[in-house]
């Protein structure tokens, strides 16, 4: 039986995709160096290979050993702020890493790729909702590294016959509705887990700026459930397997939601107030970012199941309530 290789399958979005692949009856091999991911998060995979993304030999043997006929490439660094401080690391990991995966695919004749991209390829929006045609002008190294690979892919398509679907996530959020998987970054910088921790009295919380030109002064974002993102990966793979063309899709709910809306949703779901301090704006935060996902809905039939912000927050809270230290044990988290 052929397999799907999932790089970064021990990470947040990757692990949810692995579970969805496995539930679709596909054989899954995770390739991850566990630098940020968690071994436990890979338990729905059929095989696990611990390896570096630029290790060509290990990548190629993983592909050969498991008869891989498609790759989902998630393995990358993902913090906008860190990418401004350490662009070299981001180019090495995200550009050279992805090129190593592409090289291995070409060498081993793997013809299908689903590539994780981001809303950060657009930079400051010139119009909303953001469609696939919106100008690509990243304002940080993270967005540049993802765009560099997006731009390489059509050339790999023409020269080597490698077909790809690029998925540009807006704000991935929530956790597996069965409670089997969740978000566990160290440090955790994302809004929803931080606000949940504040509601549970575990941490302090700041809103980064309430003087934006938005209805309530806080940034508007487009939160999309991680399980809905995972489902989009399955549709993308099915389309490639059916001989469909290379494509790029934006993935969001199309619902602009402010930081205050999220804080209110957390208070409703947890049943406790979120103690909030107002801090300065965070560098590199656009005021408004939300997607048009009309194209993937129309072309691949994507239909998000967990659209409401309360539903998204409920799953995130359920995971964080039961697993305060995420995949780590409480003792590991103390260290
Ligand atoms: N925020 C706070 N307080 C916090 C954390 C976040 O007010 O403690 C605000 C941010 O300023 C932002 C919103 O909540 O307005 C969402 O912030 P996140 O850090 O959760 O997510 P980002 O929008 O910064 O990042 C997401 C993806 C990135 C992607 C980026 C594109 O996680 O991968 O969108 O702008 F690059």
Taking only the tens place, the pLDDT of each residue in 109-155 is 999 999 999 999 999 999 999 999 999 999 999 999 999 999 999 99
Q: What is the mean pLDDT of residues 181-210?
A: 96
Q: Looking at the domain that runs over 3-173+223-251, which CATH code has it been given?
A: 3.40.50.720
The alpha carbon of 79 and the centre of ligand 1 are apart by a number of angstroms equal to 9
- The domain limits of the chain are 3-173+223-251
% pLDDT > 90, the chain: 95
Q: What is the pLDDT of residue 182?
A: 97
Whose CA is closest to 257, among 315, 310, 183? 310
Is the predicted pLDDT of residue 331 greater than 70, yes or no? no
The pair of three-digit structure tokens given for residue 103, joined into one six-digit string: 């090289």
Q: How many Å apart are CA 285 and CA 91, to the nearest integer?
A: 21
How far CA 130 is from CA of 57, 78, 166, 292, 333, in Å, comes to 40, 21, 15, 5, 38
Q: How far apart are CA 69 and CA 104, in angstroms?
A: 12
Q: Verify whether ligand 1 is closer than 6 Å to residue 78 (CB atom).
A: yes
Full-model pTM:
0.97
The C-alpha atoms of residue 66 and residue 14 are separated, in whole angstroms, by 18
- Is the pLDDT score of 330 beyond 70? no
Q: Which of 90, 142, 156, 169 is catalytic?
A: 142
Ligand 1 midpoint to CA 120 (Å): 11
Find out whether the beta carbon of 91 lies less than 6 Å from any atom of ligand 1. no
Arithmetic mean of pLDDT, 312-318: 98
The number of the ligand 1 atom at minimal distance from the alpha carbon of 80 is 36
* CA–CA distance, 154 with 313 (Å, rounded to integer): 37
**How far is the centre of ligand 1, averaged over its atoms, from the C-alpha of 259 (Å)?**
9
Of the residues 128, 191, 193, which should be mutated to test ligand 1's pocket, given the most ligand atoms within 8 Å of the CB? 191
For 323, left (φ over 0), alpha (ψ -120 to 50), or beta?
beta
**Residue 118 CB–ligand 1 contact under 6 Å:** yes
Give me 311's structure tokens: 């539903």
Specify the pLDDT at position 325: 87
Of 162, 130, 72, give the one whose Cα is nearest residue 295: 130
Structure tokens that stand for 67 in this block: 């008869």
Residue 30 has pLDDT above 90, yes or no: yes
Pull the structure tokens for residue 254: 């199309």
Determine the pLDDT at residue 324: 87
The overall average pLDDT reported for the chain is 96
């Amino acid at each position: 039986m052929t397999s799907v290789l999932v790089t970064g399958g021990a990470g947040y979005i990757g692990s949810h995709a692995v579970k969805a692949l496995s539930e679709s009856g596909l054989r899954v091999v995770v390739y991850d160096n566990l630098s940020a991911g968690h071994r436990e998060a890979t338990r729905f995979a059929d095989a696990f290979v611990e390896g570096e993304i630029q290790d060509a030999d290990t990548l190629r043997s993983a592909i050969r050993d498991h008869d891989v006929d498609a790759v989902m490439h998630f393995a990358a660094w993902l913090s906008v702020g860190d990418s401004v401080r350490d662009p070299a690391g981001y180019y090495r990991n995200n550009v050279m890493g992805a090129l190593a995966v592409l090289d291995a695919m070409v060498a081993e004749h793997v013809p299908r790729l689903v590539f994780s991209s981001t809303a950060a390829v657009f930079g400051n929006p010139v119009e909303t909702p953001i469609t696939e045609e919106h100008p690509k002008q990243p304002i940080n190294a993270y967005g540049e590294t993802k765009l560099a690979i997006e731009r390489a892919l059509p050339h790999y398509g023409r020269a080597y016959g490698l077909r790809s679907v690029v998925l540009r996530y807006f704000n991935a959020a929530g956790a597996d509705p069965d409670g089997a998987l969740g978000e566990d970054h160290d440090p955790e910088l994302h809004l929803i887990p931080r606000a949940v921790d504040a509601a549970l009295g575990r941490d302090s919380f700041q809103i980064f700026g309430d003087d934006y030109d938005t209805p309530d002064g806080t940034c508007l974002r487009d939160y999309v459930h991680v399980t809905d993102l995972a489902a989009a990966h399955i549709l993308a793979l099915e389309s490639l397997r059916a001989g469909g063309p290379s494509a790029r899709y934006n993935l969001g709910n199309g619902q602009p939601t402010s930081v205050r809306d999220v804080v209110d949703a957390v208070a409703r779901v947890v049943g406790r107030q979120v103690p909030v301090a107002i801090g300065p704006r965070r560098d590199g935060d656009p005021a408004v970012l939300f997607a048009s996902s009309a194209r993937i809905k129309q072309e691949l039939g994507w239909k998000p199941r967990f659209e409401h912000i309360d539903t998204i927050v409920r799953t995130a809270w359920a995971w964080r309530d039961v697993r305060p230290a995420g995949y780590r044990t409480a003792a590991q988290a103390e260290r």
